């Protein structure tokens, strides 16, 4: 029986896929020649590698692809610009693509963090209709405050709502208020 691949196997396949896309773009770039340039197409494999495989792989492509284009310019094509101009263009592309990688990586990390936060409290919570305790994953009942504190960064403060004050202290509260009013009137 064949088992599913591990996460590292999937990561390896993804990296090969990103490099495959980059290779196809570079081959198309080579056959298009030095005067037809579409550096925006370089962003596709760089963005995919950054989002799904991390900043390291994105930076690898952000550096490798412009260097390959530079090799085309200085070694394979006859171009009217100098090595210095081709080198400056290469450095500019590497810089822009690297900044793009950093942006994509930050967005990916933020999206993953938000996804984790949303998943923390999603779904149905089994709650006791009498005491309001919540049944946790190990089938134990715990206070709402404890459950939510474990699952989130929320902290609790306690007070009492007006309805509960009336329900719990009804006539006693009214007497205390009347006495306080009388005392206030005497001053």
What is the model's pLDDT at position 146? 85
What is the model's pLDDT at position 2? 47
H or E, element range at 141:
strand 141-142
Where are the extended beta strands (E) located within 4-122?
none
> What pLDDT band is residue 59 in, cutting at 50, 70 and 90?
very high
What is the model's pLDDT at position 6? 66
C-beta neighbour count of 9 within 10 angstroms: 10
pTM over 0.75: no
**Percent of the chain residues past pLDDT 90, beyond the cut:** 40
Average pLDDT, the chain: 85
> What pLDDT band is residue 1 in, cutting at 50, 70 and 90?
very low
Higher pLDDT, 164 or 84: 84
Q: What is the 3-state secondary structure (H, E, C) of 95-144?
A: HHHHHHHHHHHHHHHHHHHHHHHHHHCCCCCCECCCCCCEECCCCCEECH
Could you give the CA distance from residue 55 to residue 63 in angstroms, rounded to a whole number?
12
- The helix/strand count (H/E) of the chain reads as 6, 2
Q: What average pLDDT does range 164-178 have in this prediction? A: 78
Asked if the model's pLDDT at residue 172 lies above 50, the reply is yes
What is the model's pLDDT at position 125? 79
């Amino acid at each position: 029986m064949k088992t599913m691949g591990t996460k590292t196997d999937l990561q390896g396949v993804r990296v090969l896929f990103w490099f495959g896309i980059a290779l196809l773009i570079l081959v198309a770039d080579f056959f298009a020649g030095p005067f037809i340039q579409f550096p925006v197409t370089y962003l596709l494999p760089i963005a995919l590698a950054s989002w799904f495989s991390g900043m390291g792989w994105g930076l690898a492509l952000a550096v490798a692809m412009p260097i390959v284009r530079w090799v085309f310019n200085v070694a394979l094509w006859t171009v009217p610009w100098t090595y210095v101009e081709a080198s400056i263009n290469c450095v500019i592309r590497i810089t822009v693509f690297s900044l793009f990688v950093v942006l994509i990586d930050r967005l990916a990390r933020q999206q993953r963090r938000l996804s984790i936060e949303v998943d923390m409290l999603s779904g149905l919570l089994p709650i006791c209709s009498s005491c309001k305790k919540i049944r946790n994953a190990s089938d134990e009942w715990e206070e709402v405050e404890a459950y939510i504190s474990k699952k989130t960064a929320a902290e609790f403060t306690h007070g009492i709502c007006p309805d509960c004050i009336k329900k719990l202290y009804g006539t006693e509260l009214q007497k205390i208020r009347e006495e306080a009013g009388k005392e206030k009137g005497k001053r």
